[in-house]
Amino acid sequence: MTEKLQDDIGVSAATEGSPVVAALRAKFGDAVLDSSEGLDCTVVVLARESIADVCHYLKNEHAFEQMMDLCGVDMLEMPGWTADSPRFEVVYHLLSVSRNDRLRLKLGVDERQLVDSVTEVWSTANWFEREAFDMYGIIFNHHPDLRRLLTDYGFEGHPLRKDFPVTGRVEMFFDEAQWRCVYKPNEVKERVLVERTWPGVDRG
């Protein structure tokens, strides 16, 4: 467990009494790196290599029938992040309809490291994993069709990375007057509509 993830998530004694967390620790041992109680549900941090096995187990043995969301997080500008910590997090939001329970899984991954796809567990993971690949460059091993989802053909880079340049690129649009596709320099401007805050900061 990296110090960065420990600082971000924290260790909560309350999760030790959670039957799901207890079952995960008993089944997967050291692959469960940390657990805590988040604002809305229990959070479990896993070793990257264990994600597919854990997801199969949670669906089959603990009735987490649905994966509601999967997203990437670029940790580059997070307070306390260091170069020897994983650059990205992959976050899974699971829902058990039958038990009215939610669970959040997290794992750390560096650029070019592989994360096993969970499309064989929940088919909804297909496009979520493609989006994380497109936006962050996170590579999902054994994905059936890992292509870009939101950017154009031939696009270079990953737009949601913190170091992605907002100038020096072009955008394509259809010009009605010329009746053809044309390119022009992009005009992306960084806008701050809401003051940036971090988890744990008093928002009052």
Please report where in the chains the tokens 């009215």 appear, as a residue. 100
The pLDDT of residue 1 is 43
Q: Is the pLDDT of residue 197 over 80?
A: no
Q: How far apart are CA 165 and CA 57, in angstroms?
A: 41
Residue 12 in this model has a pLDDT that exceeds 90: no
Contact (Cβ atoms closer than 8 angstroms) between residue 103 and residue 44: yes
Residue with structure tokens 């670029």? Answer: 74
Tokens of 40: 């809305």
Q: Is 42 helix (H, G, I), strand (E, B) or coil?
A: strand
CA distances from 147 to 37, 128, 144 (A): 35, 11, 9
For 3-160, the fitting CATH number among 3.30.460.80, 3.40.190.10, 2.30.40.10, 3.30.310.80 is: 3.30.460.80
Predicted confidence (pLDDT) per residue in 15-62, tens digit = 556 899 999 999 999 999 999 998 889 999 999 999 999 999 999 999
- The CA-based angle 64-65-71, given to 5 degrees, is 75
Is 201 a residue whose pLDDT tops 60?
no
Give pLDDT, residue 46: 98
- For the beta carbon of residue 114, count every other beta carbon within 10 angstroms: 13
pLDDT in tens, 159-189: 999 998 877 677 778 889 999 998 888 766 6
Domain regions of the chain by residue span? 3-160
Phi, psi angles (nearest 5°) of residue 51:
-60, -45
The count of residues in the chain is 204
Classify 24 in phi/psi space as left (phi over 0), alpha (psi -120 to 50) or beta. alpha
pLDDT digits (tens, 9 = 90+) for 74-107: 999 898 899 999 999 999 999 999 999 999 999 9
